[in-house]
Structures are given as C-alpha cells and as structure tokens.
Amino acid sequence: MQDKEFDRLLKITRLRVSDEERVQIKRDFEQVMAYFDEISSVEASGEPAYHPVDVPGRLRDDTVKPFADAESLKKRSKTSNGYIVGPKL
Amino acid sequence: MTSYIEEFNGIEKPKDYYDDLFVQLEKLNDEYHAFNVINKDADCGFLFGTKANICVKGFETDAGSKMLKGYAPSFNATAVERMLSDKRFAFAGVTGMDEFGFGTFGTNTEVPARNAFDKEYAAGGSSSGAAVAAALMKYHVSIAESTGGSIATPAALNGVVGFTPTYGSVSRYGLIDYANSLDKIGVMARSSEDARIVFDRIRGRDEYDTTCAVEKITSERRKKIFVINGMLEKADASIKTSFEKLLNRLGNAYEIEHVDSSMMEMAIAPYYIIAMAEASTNLAKYTGYKYGLMAEDFYKQYNEFFTDVRENFGMEAKRRILLGTFIRSASVKDKYYTKALVIRSMLIREMDRMLKEGYILSPTLPIKAPRIADVRKLSPVESYSMDLFTIPPNLGGFPHISFPYDYVDGMPLGAQLVTGHGNDYAILDFVKSWEEGFEYRYKTNLGEL
Amino acid sequence: MKIGLEVHVALPTRSKLFCSCSTEAAEPNSSICPICMGFPGSKPMLNRGAVEAAMGIANALHCPINRGISFVRKVYFYPDLPKSYQITQMEGAVGSNGYLAIGEKRIRIRRVQIEEDPAQIIRDGALTLIDFNRSGTPLVEIVTEPDISSEEEMRSFISSLRSMLYYLGVDINKEIKADVNISMAETRVEVKNVTGIKNMIETLRFEIERQTELIRAGEEIARETRGYNEKSKSTQTLREKESDEEYGYVFEPDLTVFDIAELKFNEPVYANDVAVGLANGTDVSPRTVSEIIMLDRDSLRQIERLRGRHSLRSIIHGIERYKKYGRAGRVADKVLDNIVLLIEEGKEVPKEAIVDLESGKEARVEYSQLSDEQLDELINKYLEENPALVREYVKQPKTINLIIENIARGNGLHPKEVARKLMPILAKVAEGK
C-alpha cells in the first residue's frame, strides 16, 4: 500500500496513527487484504444476504412520543443557551 | 442438571449474603477483572451481569473502549429492561470486553479479563468478562453478545455454557453496534437450563429493533451430527484427540457423518469483510462532543477536533476502521463488500441443507487456551483464523451453543453445536442431556450457599 | 446549457423519520432522543407516514413505485451529523425514472429518495452551536436529470413542483432547498444548498456569467462544489467535500427491505393541466386560471363548485375581488355566491360590499340612476369645486381614479357610469389648462 493511499484513508476516517502504528498497520493491512482477496476465487451466485434471516419490515405509526429524559442527553456536552457546542466549522 | 436460577430462588439467603458476596467479588475482581463496574446496590435476586456494550441506564457502558469513557446511557437495552422487570433477577454489574467486540481473546482493551482457571491464560473474547463472571460465581448469568464467536469462544475457555441465539430473536436495541447484521445478544451460564430461562426472558419482538423478527422458537431434535472434515483438520492434534473422544461418546445416540463444506471452510474472509465494513460506519459516530470521551478545544476546526479525539481508538479498532472504510469504497465495494454478502447467502443455503438433517458439531476453538503473552504475538490474520469454527454459524445467523466437554491440563475444552434458524431450543435440549452425564468443574464458586 | 436539480423538501409528518420525537419544537434541543442524537445503542424505526408522503410525491412525478425500499449509510464527518453517517436511499429509493411536465417538455426525474435531515447549526462568533431538533426530520430529495436548459424552464419546473407538492399536502411555507448543477460546457459545477427560487435564479445567472467568462477566456472550468452567498449574490468554492468513493455507501443493516406495496398515498393534482381543462371553451386563458389555483386549493374548489352556474370569468373575478378585500383566508361559499351574482348583474363589488356580505348584511351596491344630462351637470360642478384635483390630473393622469371614486361615492353612482361620462369632460377641461 502506498503512503498516499494510506494517508487518504486516514483523512477520510479522521484517524491519526503514530509512526510505529503506521508501519505495523500498513503491514497488517496488506496481509489482511491478501486474505480477503481469497474470496475472488469463489464463483458467486445468488442475491446478497443483507441479514442472515428474513427480516420483514415493520413500520412505525406517525405518532409523537417524546423521550422522557431529553435533558440527560445534553448533560455531558458543553451548552450555550440550550444549544450544544460543537467544533469550529 | 438443575437450574441454578431455580435452585437459588428456592434457598433462604443469610442476612448479609449480598454484602459479603460483593466484598468477595470485588477482591476476586481485582485479580480477574471480569467486571468493569460492580453494582453493590443490587436488589435481591439472581445476579446477572451485562457485557459492556449493552446499555444499562446510569451505568458506564464503555464497550471496552476509551472512546466511551463516562458513557452512562439514558436508557436500558431492551434485554436489560426485560431482565430488570423480572423480580427473579438483580443487576450485578458491567463485564469487560475487547474494544467494541474486536478480539478473539479479550486482550484488546486496557485491562483484559483473566481466565477463571488460570490467570496467565487468556479469557477469550470478546465477551471475556461475561465468561469469567459466570465461571467465578455460582449464582450468576451473563448477558453477552456475539458477532463472530464472542460468546462461544470465551465460554469454551472458561468452561461455561455460551448460547448464541438465532439472529433477530433477541432485540439489539441498546446494544452498541459492532456489525449490525451479525450482532446477537446471548447468554453465558453454568447450565443450559439457565441459558434457556434467560433467553425466554429477553427474546421476542421489540418495536425498537426492526431486525428483531424471529418470534417462533422450536425444539426439533435431529438424529444426525455432521462434522466438517476440512475444518477439523485445521485444529491442533490435542484438540482433535479430545474431540474424537466426544464423538465416540455421542456415537451411541447420534449418527455421526463426516462431510465437506466448501462454504463453511472459507467463511472467515467474507465474515471479516462484512464485519469491518459495517463496523467502520458504526465507529464514525465517536467524535467527542456529545458523549463518551469529551474534547474541549472547540476553537479547533472540526476535522482536527475529530481527529484528536479519534486518536484514542485502540490499535485493532483503528485497523478495522481503515480496512472497513477501504473495502466499502465505491471503486472496490462490489469486489469485497457486495461479494461477501452474496457468499453469505451461499453459506446459508449450504448450511441450511445440512441443518435440516442434523446438527453441526465442532470444537469451539482449534487450540487450547493460550497464554496472554502468546496471544499478543499473533498477527491479525493468525488471530482471525482462530475463529474458524465460530464464524460459520455467526455469519449465517444460526443458533449455536458452546458447552464444556473435557478438561485437559486443568483447562476446560468447549465444543460447539449448531442448528437451523429458530431451532434454538433443540441445542439447549442437547446440552441439557449432555449435562446429565458430565461433571462441570470450577475453581471458584463465589456466592455458594 | 444543462441544469440538474436536487430538491430537498421536508415531509409533513408529526414525528421524525426514525424516532417518535416531534418535528415541531420551540426551545433548542428539546425534541431529541437517543435515536436522533445518534447515541450508542439506539436504532432507527421507520415512520410509515414519511414513506406514504414520499410515495405520493414519487407517484406524482410519474416514478414507478419500488415495491421494496431500503436505505444506505452515507458516511461523512460534520458537526451537524450525529452518527457521522446520514441514512438515505440509493437503489432502494421510493421511486425512480419519472418525469414532471412543464408545458410540452418533460424534465426527467432520476430518483425520489427519503433521507434524514441533519441538525441545525448556528454560528455564534467562532462558536458552533447545534440544535438537534431538526436532526432526523424526514426529507425527500428529488433528483432530476440535467434536462433543464434555461432560467425560464427552471422557474416553471419549480413552480409546477411546488404546486404539485402543495396539493399533496407538503408544507411549502418552508422554502424549497436545492443543489443546483450547472454545466455550460462538459464540466459540471454543483452549487450546494440554495434556498428559495429567487436565490436559485441568482445562482444560475451568476454561474452562467462566470462559466461563460471562463470559456471565453479559454480557461478550464473546474469540476467542483460551490456555495451561494446571498449577500453578494455570487457563488464561491466550498470546502472539500467527500466524493461517492469516500461516502462508502453500505446497506443500512439496522433497517431492512420494506415491502410498501400495500401502503396508501394521495393522488396528485397538476394545477396546470386542471387549468387547461377549466379554461377550455371559455374566454379565460388557462394561464389566468392556473395563476389562481397553483397554490390555492380553496379557489380550485370554488371554481369547480360554481362552474355549472356561472361563467368562469365571473367566478375568477369574484375570487380576485375577495382576495383583494376579503377578511378571512378562505371565502365562505355564501359570500362568494353573492359576489359572483353581483358581478354577473354587471355591478362593481367594492370593499364595502364585501365587508357587508361578510357580516351577513346586504351589499351596498345599489346605484342611483341619473340621465346623461344630470350626470354631466354633476361632474362639471364637481370639477369646478375642485380645481386642485384637476391640476393634479394634468400632471398625474392616474388621479382620474380618485375623481371617479369621489363622484361615485358622493352620489351613490356606479363608478363605471361616472367614468364613461367623466373622461371626455376631463380631457376637454385639461386641454384648456
């Protein structure tokens, strides 16, 4: 794997690795991908199985049921006038 | 063998029973690290612990990750809610695990749990603490979770029953996702009967989980047992020897048939492809300004802010995010992700055919319990290969149960029995009759009455 | 020139797309739950109401409705996106391959998909403030093929679309938001998140000029994503956006393939077509009818109700009078009946008449009948008494309306009668001045 490609992946996943980690993960990455490439020898037939069992979809009625403890969802965040503070754009 | 739950509820407990129990448990836990959090204020009842990726309102549920330090959910997982609303049970605490479920041996977290039979040995993963808790305490069940073998593996290494039900029979609401199309909440216990009681308590439809769709559970006994040649070959010689003895014992009651299964033999790669692709999307949400590990430098531009926080993922998590993101990139998605999904449907077809006729039996692991120090030397691919037997039923969403069947050099060995979708009771029945002629061994029986 | 649009419209549901939180909330972060906040452990539950509304739209856009719909995760990082992926649709969209007719032309619709709205961001100095009330609100995205080829076509497309949505009960008070894709040459330039038709047109004008200029100068047009700035009425290059390669769409495994064949949805009304039908065989142009009914189902109902009894011209005239002077948002049947009757009797219907009718009284529209001589006399007398108004008229001919009104009202006369006689007299008087 090229450094350029590796850096692109780091960027889109918002990850940072140390120099040591970089060496190791890059090596592992190649090994694992080589392992994954084994599936190319399988002659695939049939539809993809998004779930292992049949999942008939159930739909929810359009009714409002407020969450009882909305306040608790904000308690760890920094807030300002009820707004949750996030990082700069 | 009886149910410990029924036994416990039939015995009068001494006045200080719970106080003493928790004092001892804390001491023991300092050695074995089964629990991340112990609920000393537990109500009276048969104790149950929950794997650290199953939300319990007000208790730190960190999924074994630094990224979720301090995450005390505002809601209970459906399984937890159903346990808590049953007076027979009381919440004991949160059990440790590999970060986000990423591990076969329980070592991918800050303080790994230790094997209940020997602290130098790996507890197995990723539901490591859950297995150790069940093996240390006489009256305790663990609510755990399996994606690719996270219940069966640690159950086998700690000599307890590890039951993974059919995908979609237990609600995943409140489960911190690893790979949503593979994750299954299950039970670890000292008897199949206890696993069944808890399974019946937590299973069934839930409006909060669309994929919780399997309602009907059967107990259709099979007369045949399939053993997959190509897979058994890959097990260590000592494992093979013990397993052959098990087959001999079962030979009286069942017809044993050795067969090949090309799909089961090659299930590891498609499993890890689907698991990592889904995991890499699930792990995107950890960005440090709403819950878990919190960052404070709001004047940093968001990309840098997120990258700073996300640096706290462990090594295996980083590896899986990167791999998972790569294999779902538009240009290679069909080659890996979509292909793996097709292979999954092929595997299900092949296993379904067999499972209509018989069970599939194998050792749970291809090796004996490894030392923690040796586990750390394994490369990722070597480590993933250890999931050889547990992956096919997990990838196919088939119910399976690991049960102890032998002890070698003082360490337990587990075997794994698989049956068809929805036939969960059959394998619980199987283990129940096995238990009649088998003596479980434990090093510790904390809470004994 | 090729223009393609990706139009976003909020669906009219009470609860959010994947949770039971209300879609209406006043206080910031008051209508939130673990699901729309993306807390670990939560899972989405699909709202039937949102699916039905989206099906109505897809059907109105002549898209064959997909029997099985499914969702995908679109992964990107931004502070308004709680899970760092948006649940949206691709192949499993509600509908695809449809069209919307604008006159003789069809603008092809590539896809109609359901997706969740991100949270709302408010900038407070350097701080980013986030309100998750909007997070998880159901949207449809309507993706067109690049079939629009002029500003005029874009305008009619949006206006037809708005009208169609209006008749399906989709709240159009909220402005239409769209991504506008414009290619003058080979390269496609995408302008993100333009709000409202006015800004869309400004965007288009700016881009046409900018791209034409670049082509003229022999320069390359960059394939890029731009943003529209309302103040400067211009577009600028936006932050780097992820591409499809990087979104890494995967099937949303917390949901499934939903069979929607049995769901019910509303049938569409195409106001332009309805207008043509109504105007047919009358002396009113389809355009006039269409202007009245495009965004007004009450007027359409009234026209359909009165059509058998009165001429279309009178009905429309009546509706217009009411719209100008009426009090209520919608006209009561009885009031309109009376207005139209008066019009058909050849009477003007002044404001007073409508006020009377609305309060249940007789309308003040009875006029004195005078002979031509009496009328001439009255007019001449008035003009003599009001020389200032005559002077004003010379400078500003519009003043005639005021003079007509004063004479008519002062003497209980019909304004038309007054006007008929006043004009030649006034012209003569003015000539003298």
Q: Tell me, what's the pLDDT at C406?
A: 80
Does the pLDDT at position B363 exceed 80?
A: yes
The percent of residues above 90 in pLDDT, for chain B, comes to: 99
Q: Tell me, what's the pLDDT at C176?
A: 82
Count Cβ atoms below 10 Å from residue A47 Cβ, excluding itself: 8
Q: Which residues contact A83 (CB under 8 A, 6 or more apart)?
A: C28, C29, C122, C124, C129, C130, C131
Q: Tell me, what's the pLDDT at B1?
A: 65
Average pLDDT (C83-88) is 98
Q: How far is B366 from chain C (nearest CA, A)?
A: 31
Q: Which residues of A touch C128 (CB under 8 A)?
A: 85-89
User: Does the CB of B436 have a partner CB in chain C at under 8 Å?
Assistant: no
Residue A70's pLDDT band, with cuts at 50, 70 and 90, is: very high
Give tens-digit pLDDT for C412-425. Answer: 777 778 888 888 88
B51 residue type, one letter: K
Q: Tell me, what's the pLDDT at C433?
A: 61
- CB < 8 Å from A in window 242-271 of B: 266, 268-270
Give tens-digit pLDDT for C235-247. Answer: 998 866 677 788 9
Give tens-digit pLDDT for B196-215. Answer: 999 999 999 999 999 999 99
- CB < 8 Å from C in window 296-315 of B: 298-299, 302-303, 306
Q: Determine which helix (DSSP H) or strand (DSSP E) holds C155, and give its type and residue range.
A: helix C151-167
Q: Tell me, what's the pLDDT at C396?
A: 85
Give tens-digit pLDDT for A9-63. Answer: 999 999 999 999 999 999 999 999 999 999 999 998 999 999 999 999 999 999 9
Give the pairing of strands B411-418 and B400-408.
antiparallel
For residues B189 and C257, what is the distance between their CA atoms, to the nearest angstrom? 35
For residues B158 and B118, what is the distance between their CA atoms, to the nearest angstrom? 9
Give which of B73, B35, B65, B36 is closest to B282, Cα–Cα.
B65
Q: How far is A78 from chain C (nearest CA, A)?
A: 10
User: Does the CB of B176 have a partner CB in chain C at under 8 Å?
Assistant: yes
Burial state string for C170-180 with b = 16 or more CB within 10 A and e = fewer than 16:
bebeeebbbbb
Tell whether the torsion through CA atoms of B342, B344, B346 and B352 is positive or negative. negative
Q: Tell me, what's the pLDDT at C364?
A: 73
Whether residue A5 contacts residue B233, with contact meaning beta carbons closer than 8 Å, is answered with no
Pull the structure tokens for residue C152. 């005029």
Give tens-digit pLDDT for C259-316. Answer: 999 999 999 999 999 999 999 999 999 999 999 999 999 999 999 999 988 999 999 9
Instruction: Considering only the beta carbons, identify the residue of A32, A42, A85 that sits closest to B343.
Output: A42
Q: How far is C325 from chain A (nearest CA, A)?
A: 39
- What phi, psi does B445 have (nearest 5°)? -130, 55
Give which of C47, C61, C248 is closest to C141, Cα–Cα.
C61
Average pLDDT (B352-380) is 96
Give tens-digit pLDDT for B12-70. Answer: 999 999 999 999 999 999 999 999 999 999 889 999 999 999 999 999 999 999 999 99
Does the pLDDT at position C405 exceed 80?
A: no
Domain boundaries, chain C: 2-174+239-259, 271-358, 372-432
Average pLDDT (B310-316) is 96
Q: Tell me, what's the pLDDT at C35?
A: 98
Q: Tell me, what's the pLDDT at A88?
A: 94
Q: Tell me, what's the pLDDT at C329?
A: 76
Domain boundaries, chain A: 1-42
Q: Tell me, what's the pLDDT at C173?
A: 64
For residues C206 and C233, what is the distance between their CA atoms, to the nearest angstrom? 7
Residue C254's pLDDT band, with cuts at 50, 70 and 90, is: very high
Average pLDDT, chain C: 91
Backbone dihedral region for residue B32 (phi beyond 0: left; psi -120 to 50: alpha; all else: beta)? alpha
**Do residue C27 and residue A62 have CB atoms under 8 angstroms apart?**
no
Give which of C41, A53, A48 is closest to B399, Cα–Cα.
A53
Q: Tell me, what's the pLDDT at C390?
A: 87
Give tens-digit pLDDT for B135-169. Answer: 999 999 999 999 999 999 999 999 999 999 999 99
Give the pairing of strands C250-251 and B224-228.
unpaired
Average pLDDT, chain B: 97
Torsion of CA B326, B327, B332, B337, to 10 degrees: -160
Chain A residue with minimal CA distance to C18?
A60
Partners of B413 in the β-ladder? B406
Does the pLDDT at position B80 exceed 90?
A: yes
DSSP B308-363: HHHTTS-HHHHHHHHHHHHHTSTTTTIIIIIHHHHHHHHHHHHHHHHHHHEEEEEE
Active site residues of B: 51, 126, 150
Average pLDDT (C387-395) is 87
Does the pLDDT at position C366 exceed 70?
A: no
Q: How far is A50 from chain C (nearest CA, A)?
A: 7
For residues C378 and C248, what is the distance between their CA atoms, to the nearest angstrom? 84
Give tens-digit pLDDT for C43-57. Answer: 999 999 999 999 999
DSSP A25-42: HHHHHHHHHHHHGGGGGS
Q: Tell me, what's the pLDDT at C362?
A: 77
Strand order across the beta sheet in which B46-51 lies:
B35-38, B89-95, B46-51, B140-146, B184-189, B161-164, B400-408, B411-418, B358-363, B224-228, B255-259
Lowest mean pLDDT among A73-82, B171-180, C237-246: C237-246
For residues A69 and A74, what is the distance between their CA atoms, to the nearest angstrom? 10
Average pLDDT (C136-157) is 96
Give tens-digit pLDDT for C334-345. Answer: 999 999 988 887
- What phi, psi does A81 have (nearest 5°)? 50, 40
Tell whether the torsion through CA atoms of B171, B175, B178 and B184 is positive or negative. negative
By a Cβ cutoff of 8 Å, what residues of chain A touch chain C? 12, 14, 48, 50-51, 55-57, 59-67, 70, 73-74, 79-89
Count Cβ atoms below 10 Å from residue B303 Cβ, excluding itself: 16
Give tens-digit pLDDT for C149-163. Answer: 999 999 999 999 999
Mutate to test the interface with B, among C73, C77, C129 (most CBs of B within 10 A): C77
Does the pLDDT at position C395 exceed 90?
A: no
Q: Which residues contact A9 (CB under 8 A, 6 or more apart)?
A: A15, B322, B325, B326
- What phi, psi does C194 have (nearest 5°)? -90, 130
Instruction: Considering only the beta carbons, identify the residue of C13, C15, C130 that sits closest to A84.
Output: C130
Q: Which domains does chain B have, with CATH numbers?
A: 4-224+348-436 (3.90.1300.10), 265-341 (no CATH)
Give tens-digit pLDDT for B259-288. Answer: 999 999 999 999 999 999 999 999 999 999
- CB < 8 Å from C in window 405-434 of B: none
**Do residue A89 and residue C131 have CB atoms under 8 angstroms apart?**
no
Pull the structure tokens for residue B1. 């063998």
- What phi, psi does A27 have (nearest 5°)? -65, -50
Q: Which residues of B touch C85 (CB under 8 A)?
A: 281, 284-285
The percent of residues above 70 in pLDDT, for chain C, comes to: 97
